[in-house]
Chain A
Amino acid sequence: MDLLQIFLFLFLLIFGYFSGYYFEKRHYKSIRERERKTLHVPLVNFGARQPILEAQDATLFVGSVVVSIDYFKMISATLRNLVGGRVTVYETLLDRGRREALLRMKEEAITWGAHQILNVRLQTATIGGHSSNRSGPGSIEVIAYGTGVKLSNTQ
């Protein structure tokens, strides 16, 4: 029984490592591609204390994503917890989440016809992804929201 558990653990570890690596690479590729495509619409995170632009229309846009780490990263983060220091495996997770959420908001705003997105806010929340009690955040949710505006005189 113990041997089986060890095998299962190793299998999950290796399977998690390779699939996690593959999905991350593919995700980053799509993020970079879409970021290049949506570059023409500026994202701005000010807007509250600026004079409000002359615009025809303004609406709220929200983009959200829930991402989780793979089994290998979870174990490696747990080990990292023992010695302290930078947890690089979580850094890519959060980076991916933020960029994906921003892109989703942006793409939605572009289909609506926005020229600019103002006062963008980002927010991260931990969701207990597991019903079992494992240490560390199972998954995180990132939301990005902002106001898309259509300018009256198209610049």
Chain B
Amino acid sequence: MILTTLEGVPGKKIIEHYGLVQGSTIRAKHIGKDIMASLKNIVGGELKGYTELLQESRQEAVERMVQQATELEANAVLNIRFATSSVAQGAAELFAYGTAVKVED
């Protein structure tokens, strides 16, 4: 599966178009990480626990998107965009979407 933010795959022609595919996940914070983060909030700087958590969740959102594209028998997802929104106190939604296409091999 080729994933790209461009509107085409370099060096390959698009032969079929399947429309929008998307994947999302909603994650709540881990209490242990939350306590660590609130301590880190005093001194400032990067919150590594959250960075990892969000990276994992984003990976999952992408995987779900890819799965949807695989079901459509696409072999590439173009023009991928990410979005994050906090839906409730302490929970965030991570969302990825793109256009599934088939490109020549």
Using a CB–CB cutoff of 8 Å, the interface residues on chain A facing chain B are 12, 15-16, 19-20, 23-24, 27, 47-49, 52-60, 62, 64-71, 73-74, 93, 100, 118-121, 123, 125-132, 138-139, 141, 143, 145-147, 149, 152
Mark out the residues of chain B between 12 and 32 whose CB falls within 8 Å of any chain A CB in the assembled complex: none
Shortest Cβ gap from A67 to chain B (Å)? 5
Cβ of A20: which chain B residues have Cβ within 8 Å of it? 43-45
Tell me whether A143 and B84 are in contact (CB under 8 A): yes
What bracket does the count of chain B residues touching chain A fall in? Answer: 35 or more
Contact residues in A for B44 (Cβ distance below 8 Å): 16, 19-20, 23-24, 67-71, 73, 93
A12 touches B45 (CB 8 A): no
Least CB distance from A30 to B in Å reads 11
Bound Cα distance A49, B90 (Å): 38
Q: Classify the secondary structure of B's interface with A.
A: mixed
User: CB-CB < 8 A to A24: which residues of B?
Assistant: 44-45
- Closest A residue to B50 using CB positions: A66
Is the pair A125, B84 in contact by a Cβ cutoff of 8 Å? yes
Contacts of A139 in B (CB 8 A): 37, 41, 47, 50
Q: How far is the CA of A56 from the CA of B9 in the complex (A)?
A: 10
